[in-house]
Chains A and B, each alone.
Chain A
Amino acid sequence: MKAFIRGIGQISPQQTFAGDFLENVTAYNTNMLFCIDPVYKEFIHPLQLRRMSRTLRMGVTAAKICLLDAAIEMPDAVITGTGFGCVEDTEKFLLAMLNNNEQQLTPTAFMQSTHNTISGQVAIMLKCKEYNSTYVNRGFSFETALLDSLMLIAEDNAHKVLVGGFDENSFNLHTTTDRLGHWKKEKTNSLQLLESKTPGTISGEGATFFMLTDKEDENNYALLKGLSTLYKPENENEVEQHVNDFLKRNNLSASDIDLVVYGLNGDARTDEVYYHLRDKLFNENAGAYFKHLCGDYYTSSAFALWFSANAIKRQVVPQSVRLGKAPSGALKNILIVNHYRDINYSFMLVSQC
């Protein structure tokens, strides 16, 4: 199963919404990263905007940017993936329940706290009555949305699929997950994330949409050639074997990969597997990483796909993401290797059209 990436829209902790390709990256000295907001009024009518929470604004705007970028007005399907959904609205609603003793509850936050709010809002905005689905599968949320998109295209049920991944950060969420040991205890300069050898990482957020299509076009960014997931591997050797099999299924070997994009997040407990793969399989390949720019969240692999599609189209790997040596020739094949908390492993193959 494969599909071309025709358009992309992304809101992230970097200036990714304005066509910038990580030339000027923003450094953070905090363990919580939040998105840089565009002027939402330029994308969403003020009457709709006033009722939208932050994540809804991010998601709808990213979808709009993607549609404009793809020059496609009406998709055949809208599919999203999210780990936590609309967290702030959920918190707002639950806090109101607690504070008001389950009385006098207002409808807005409750209505918009559901995970499928963004895909629904995008469909309403476009008056799109086609297939609409949202996947909530923790660290596989975006991957499952992608898989569904690829299957729709492969089975000829859709030709243009708007697919996105989004998750938002919040102080409550960060504090709660901090108790579980997810985040670094010491403040970290995000751009020096990999130099930190302590447990935990930095939390982040983002909303990324892609227009996938089965049509070849000179404006396509790249070809999403393969997608694979692996749940709770027993050890690094199992991951290595999985990568080998994945490449083999796509008629490629390690030497065909021009750039490996690793989901390194500076967590001393779980980064080792990436270094293992680099040492065992990709010792000669150029590398890149991305979580120092967007933080870690359930659907951060969407950021990696955004990066890889842009790198292929522009034939550039910005200095800010390089890990080790730079690619020596043309970027034809990029392999994304990512995992969320050593549980959800995903692999994506992005190739030149």
Chain B
Amino acid sequence: MTMHAPAPDAAKEPGRLAITISGLVKHYGSHRALNGIDLEVRRGERIVICGPSGSGKSTLIRCINALERHDGGSIVVNGIELTADEGTVQDIRQEVGMVFQHFNLFPHLTAIENCMLAPQLNRGLTKARAEKLAMHYLERVHLADHARKYPSRLSGGQQQRVAIARALCMEPRILLFDEPTSALDPEMVNEVLGVMEELAASGVTMLCVTHEMGFARRVADRCVFMDHGEIVESRDAASFFQAPESQRLRDFLAQILR
């Protein structure tokens, strides 16, 4: 059964909603990866999504920017309903930035060129302006000194921070993180989480799939627990950890917080 905390005032002020997901269904062949997801995300809200592997959490955020096409239900991002139409998909992708588990930087471009590409191609920025913009965001992730390096010369943590800067350069209003620290060596996790916490403080809407429960406690307004393609529990971070309602979440937390 799906239980989710009502987003306060959301119904009264639809303009304050960044993302509205209702009845979302996604199949891979006969496997039902998402089984009727309902989720409302307010502007500026920071949501952490967790759950066991295969629970559909990555699929859910990948549906939001149409990296996966959903089979049923609806997704509305900043008032735009996501359809199969290429133009609509492009519009939504301009509003939504994404950071991946494996960074996925362009290996043939330097850190700053990685950040400049999309603004130059999508927004027609001149090289000089794109460079200024890229430098601004590289500074924000504390990598200005490494701007001219190629990804192969950077550590995992640095690469992930470049990836965050690259997403920020499109100045999206919503940021999706798909297990951003899972591929990192332990000593590099904190530098990435640190940048993400700074971002969270800036007011950008964040949806973050992660198992970093410390981060969830410090940053998340709301924690969502998924299992078998459904949202099992969705509530504010404090009660999520202190008073989980469902047995499944209690089991999950017991395992992960061991």
Please say whether chains A and B are actual partners in one complex: no
Taking beta carbons and an 8 Å cutoff, which residues of A are in contact with B?
none
Taking beta carbons and an 8 Å cutoff, which residues of B are in contact with A?
none
